[in-house]
């Protein structure tokens, strides 16, 4: 079998006594799109943080194309080709939309080339009219789009999206789903989302986290029918 794009082995993160992520073994093939679901506090964001070097695992390993990146710095991992849209929009609030995208694009392009790339990206995420506004003044949904644009502009191999549809209108959610599918034509993705409609729109294979562990991993239709998943996840959400 070919080397997977991403693999974790017994990946673990403990905060004091809290086992946020515990012995997770996870594999993602080149070009795959995977959804990651699980109730609040299941450890999804923590898992992402370990994949991107924002947290150093308590133990276990992360392999990216066979290379151990468990202890690499965030910027090194980014340069290897993993981009992330974090749960809380992580953008340059004090700068304009254009400048935000430019900073991302100029990491891989020359200054002159970057300007052209920025215009393309602004068109792709539909923010040309807002190009010169400060990102901090935009609505939540639009800031999510800016962040997507930033991530795409660095042309990563693998994109992690932590709740990309949160705070979006129904229309925006659909547009985002479309974009995700489009991105998946060339890149691998892992998408964390609570919005089941959104998951239905994009997912093939789904991994369910619960209390820091992988509960099940299956095709989306089976996951949605799985009583165990219903109990821990949908049930909880309904109760909340």
- CA-CA distance, 190 to 181, in Å (whole number)? 12
Residue from the set 29, 63, 95, 157 that interacts with other proteins by CB under 8 A: 95
Rounded to a whole number of angstroms, the minimum distance from the CB of residue 154 to other proteins is 6
- Choose between 154 and 212: whose C-beta lies nearer to ligand ATP: 212
Could you say whether residue 167 binds ligand ATP (CB under 6 A)?
no
Q: Which does 42 bind (CB under 5 to 8 A by kind): other proteins, Mg ion, ligand ATP, none?
A: ligand ATP
- Choose between 45 and 207: whose C-beta lies nearer to ligand ATP: 45
Could you say whether residue 45 binds Mg ion (CB under 5 A)?
yes
CA atoms lying within 13 Å on the CB side of residue 64: 21
Residue from the set 1, 2, 111, 238 that interacts with other proteins by CB under 8 A: 111
The candidate with the shortest Cα–Cα distance to 21, out of 8, 35, 4, is 8
Could you say whether residue 196 binds other proteins (CB under 8 A)?
no
- CA-CA distance, 32 to 36, in Å (whole number)? 13
- The site string for ligand ATP over 37-66 (x = CB under 6 A, - otherwise) reads -x-xxxxxxx--------------------
- Choose between 14 and 230: whose C-beta lies nearer to other proteins: 14
- Choose between 78 and 223: whose C-beta lies nearer to other proteins: 78
Rounded to a whole number of angstroms, the minimum distance from the CB of residue 166 to ligand ATP is 9
The candidate with the shortest Cα–Cα distance to 213, out of 53, 65, 36, is 36
* Tokens found for residue 56: 């150093």
Residue 134 near residue 94 (C-beta atoms within 8 A): yes
Report the site for ligand ATP in 78-107 (rule: CB under 6 A): 87
Binding-site ranges for other proteins (CB under 8 A): 52, 54, 73-75, 78-79, 83-84, 86, 90-95, 99, 102-104, 106-107, 111, 129-130, 133, 137-142, 150, 154, 167, 169
């Amino acid at each position: 079998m070919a080397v997977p794009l991403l693999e974790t082995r017994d990946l673990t993160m403990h905060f004091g006594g809290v086992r946020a992520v515990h012995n997770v073994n996870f594999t993602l093939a080149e070009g795959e799109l995977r959804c990651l679901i699980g109730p609040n506090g299941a450890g999804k964001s923590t898992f992402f943080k370990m994949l991107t070097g924002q947290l150093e695992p308590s133990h276990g390993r992360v392999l990216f194309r066979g290379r151990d990146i468990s202890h690499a710095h965030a910027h090194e991992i980014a340069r290897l080709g993993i981009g992330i849209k974090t749960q809380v929009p992580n953008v340059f609030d004090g700068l304009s939309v254009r400048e935000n995208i430019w900073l991302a694009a100029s990491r891989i392009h020359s200054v002159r080339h970057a300007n052209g790339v920025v215009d393309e990206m602004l068109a792709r995420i539909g923010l040309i009219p807002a190009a010169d506004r400060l990102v901090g003044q935009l609505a939540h949904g639009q800031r999510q789009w800016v962040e997507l644009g930033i991530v795409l502009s660095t042309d990563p191999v693998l994109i992690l999206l932590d709740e990309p549809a949160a705070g979006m209108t129904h229309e925006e959610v659909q547009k985002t789903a479309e974009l995700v599918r489009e991105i998946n034509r060339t890149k691998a993705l892992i998408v964390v989302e609570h919005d089941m409609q959104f998951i239905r729109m994009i997912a093939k294979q789904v991994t369910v986290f619960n209390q820091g562990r992988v509960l099940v991993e299956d095709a989306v239709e089976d996951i949605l029918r799985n009583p165990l998943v219903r109990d821990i996840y949908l049930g909880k959400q309904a109760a909340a």
